[in-house]
Amino acid sequence: MINDKKLLYSGMQATGTLTLGNYLGALKNWVTLNEEYECLYGVMDLHSLTVRQVPADFRKNARSLYALYVAAGLDPEKNCIYYQSHVSGHAELSWILSCFTYMGELNRMTQFKDKAAKHADNINAGLYTYPVLMAADILLYQADLVPVGADQKQHLEITRDIAQRFNSIYGDVFTIPEPYIAKAGAKIMSLQEPEKKMSKSDENANATIKLLDDRDTIIRKFKRAVTDSDTVVRYAEEKPGISNLMDIYSCVTGKTNEEIEREFAGKGYGDFKLAVGEAVADELAPLQARYAELMADKSYLDAMIKMNDEKAQYYANKTLRKVQKKVGLTERIR
């Protein structure tokens, strides 16, 4: 806990361009959290190495992600926004924690099985021990709260197990993190396969709205969105495509499902898809304009990165030194 505020920790991987799902499901909701919590947000570039990266593209994507954080409204002077790889404590603590993590626990991680199936030609040890690095990310900063989606619940559970195991041996070293459940936000699904989550790695370009898509592209993708053979705009389990579009429209306009159904009563899917596309394009226009400004202002971004890297390093070192002392590692001569 810093400044009497609980500490909230989260981050996103530095691969590809963030999607509308990333924005509406998480990023948009992060913006006001610093009023209540001390917030750290990582550009999670070490995690991204489990998949082979093109170095030049990787560096560009990481900087782009940092700029998107800020463009979305995260103030880098009020939130600690930093590069994971710039704080060596992540890797150092990950190794120590791996010695307190059991193979059986890692074998139960469903995300490893899913990713291994997608990258059968590169099932590396990093992919397997990914949850330990994630535990280190969280525990390094003594995080009280971690926003989690359904696909990350297992990772928070193993983080809590590792922390409790360590504390039972060495005393009260780590804060046991709790899940943070957002008050708002939606799980945004693919525009082409509405039964699965929107993903920036989807090979079908029409399935995903990227935050930097231009207005015409956004509207075109929504016009091509998969719906059903019905023509009524109505929220229902048997209408996943339309329900997903209604979730998106609700998030960007603030309208309830009942209001949306009334607005489009007697109108067809074409009118509704166009309205959703235009609303999303309007929502993203200020973010895109701010992003362009940030990417053009190299000195400002560099200054914010340097300041926040140093802040994150300070917090991380306090925990790391304590852990190293507890396990018996020889203290460094300073």
Structure tokens belonging to residue 292: 């362009």
Full strand arrangement of the beta sheet holding 7-13: 80-83, 38-44, 7-13, 145-147, 178-180
Catalytic residue from among 6, 28, 113, 115: 115
Triad 55, 287, 192: Cα angle to 5°: 75
Measured between alpha carbons, how far is 62 from 81 in angstroms, rounded to an integer?
Answer: 12
Return the ∠ at Cα 24 (arms to 218 and 277), rounded to 5°: 25
How many Cβ atoms sit within 10 Å of the Cβ of residue 184?
Answer: 9
- Report whether 287 contacts 71 (CB < 8 A): yes
Q: Are 148 and 182 in contact (CB under 8 A)?
A: no
Rounded Cα distance between 176 and 130, Å, is 19
What are the φ/ψ torsions at residue 147 (nearest 5 degrees)?
Answer: -65, 130
Residue 197 is a catalytic residue: yes
Neighbours of 174 (CB within 10 A): 25
The active-site residue out of 5, 118, 196, 200 is 200
Task: Residue 5: count other Cβ atoms within 10 Å of its Cβ.
Answer: 14
CB 315 within 8 A of CB 2: yes
With CA atoms as reference, report the closest residue to 230 among 240, 221, 219, 222. 240
List 60, 153, 196, 197, catalytic entry? 197
How many alpha carbons lie under 13 Å from residue 293 in its C-beta half-sphere?
9
Q: What pairing do the DSSP bridges indicate for beta strands 7-13 and 178-180?
A: unpaired
State the Cα–Cα distance between residues 109 and 151, nearest whole angstrom.
10
> Which residues participate in catalysis according to the annotation?
115, 197, 200
